[in-house]
Each structure stands twice: as C-alpha cells, then as structure tokens.
Amino acid sequence: MRYARTLGIESIKLNLHGRRDWPDRMFFPYGGRPVFFELKREGKEPRPGQLRVIRGLKKLGYKVYVINTFTEAKVILDGAV
C-alpha cells in the first residue's frame, strides 16, 4: 500500500460486513476504474467463494488480481500509472 501511494494511487481495505469473499483491497489508479487485489500467501489459492466473487467482478468488466508476492503487485501497479 505504501508503494501504491508513492505512485499516487490510493487504496482501501475492503471490510464488508455480511459480504464475505470480496477481494482484500481496492486500488484507485488513474483512469477512474478501480482495480481489486486478493492478497494470498505464496502458494495459496482463493477459496471457492472468493473465486465466485472474482469471476463476477471480472464479468462486470473490473480488473481483479490474485497477488502472491510484492513483485507481482509492483508490476501491476507500475502498469496502472
């Protein structure tokens, strides 16, 4: 999140009461379209409910990334500016 701020990209942690399985973070890059990150430890995969939400968001046209490392996140954020 600190790295995103150095690029001028704000983010929020999604804590949606009663709405499980949503991605962990929403980033606001230039262009006016939020990007979602599901943050997982290296080698871990999203749960079935998380995959359902991710598919739904992608169907609506949003970009959703499952991130396992800082390097992955950095590449995506660098491309968003």
Residue type for position 13: K
Question: Tens of pLDDT along 48-63?
Answer: 999 999 999 999 999 9
Q: Tell me the average pLDDT across 52-79.
A: 95
Task: Supply the CATH number for residue 53's domain.
Answer: 3.40.1350.10
Range of the domain at 13: 2-80
Alpha-carbon distances of 57 from 31, 36, 43, 50, 71, rounded to whole Å: 18, 9, 23, 11, 24
Domain tally for the chain?
1
Question: Tens of pLDDT along 9-38?
Answer: 999 999 888 888 999 999 999 888 899 999
Q: Cα–Cα distance between 28 and 17 in angstroms, integer?
A: 21
